[in-house]
Amino acid sequence: SAVISQKPSRDICQRGTSLTIQCQVDSQVTMMFWYRQQPGQSLTLIATANQGSEATYESGFVIDKFPISRPNLTFSTLTVSNMSPEDSSIYLCSVNRGKNTEAFFGQGTRLTVV
Amino acid sequence: GNSVTQMEGPVTLSEEAFLTINCTYTATGYPSLFWYVQYPGEGLQLLLKATKADDKGSNKGFEATYRKETTSFHLEKGSVQVSDSAVYFCALGGGATNKLIFGTGTLLAVQP
């Protein structure tokens, strides 16, 4: 299993500002994933973060808007930059232990942009 | 690309009713299939999984069988309880990173 801690759990931010979300895992993992869950919607993968290399972004997501850091095997950050109300979502960090294995999720960060 | 199509909700059932939530997928190769559940106010957690064709995943009375011929992974439970009220997500995983692709989610409301 894996225990994932995300901070902050929620925030209300002004448009045009940036928010950095932290994800801490209780054990080393190769890959960490960042998802977005818009209100009433499913989860959409933003990017995959590997330690020591640049994150791999999914179609529709770009590094300038969602820069990601992965300084070691237990930690990652996602920044939501130059926020607008459309960025209001729950952002989730996730890890797994390899092919065909269960994914573990953090509790999520509920972001509201006003 | 890979995708998951899931039955839209909400689904409202009486306690002890039979539940089916349909899920079909499109994928290259041999993906793994998962059902995740999100109870009110809680995080996402794995309900069951199947990693190859004809596998049946089961947990807490829920079952789903990986059907390659119909590209389906329908979730079933013979007798639902009020405590089963949650959002259920079908997901497809695989490849080198095992990243997940989720269906739209189905809200289940079980009434006493």
| Burial annotation A87-112 (CB, 10 A radius, 16+ → b, else e) | bbbbbbbbbbbeebebbbbbbbbbbe
Contact B99 A108 (CB under 8 A): no
Kindly indicate the confidence band of residue A5, based on its pLDDT and cuts at 50, 70 and 90. very high
How far, CA to CA in Å, does B72 sit from each of A71, B4, B5, B46, B77? 39, 9, 9, 18, 16
Contact A45 B103 (CB under 8 A): no
B44 lies within 8 A of chain A by CB: yes
pLDDT at A98: 77
**What number of C-beta contacts closer than 8 Å exist between A and B?**
54
- B32-57 residue pLDDT tens: 999 999 998 888 999 999 999 999 99
Instruction: Report the pLDDT averaged over residues A59-76.
Output: 95
Contact A98 B94 (CB under 8 A): no
Q: What is residue A85's three-state secondary structure?
A: helix
Residues on chain A touching B95 (C-beta within 8 angstroms) = 99
pLDDT at A54: 86
- pLDDT at residue B103 tops 90: yes
- B76-99 residue pLDDT tens: 999 999 999 999 999 999 776 778
Handedness of CA B42, B47, B51, B52 (dihedral sign): negative
Which of A41, A48, A92 is nearest residue B97 as measured by Cβ atoms? A48
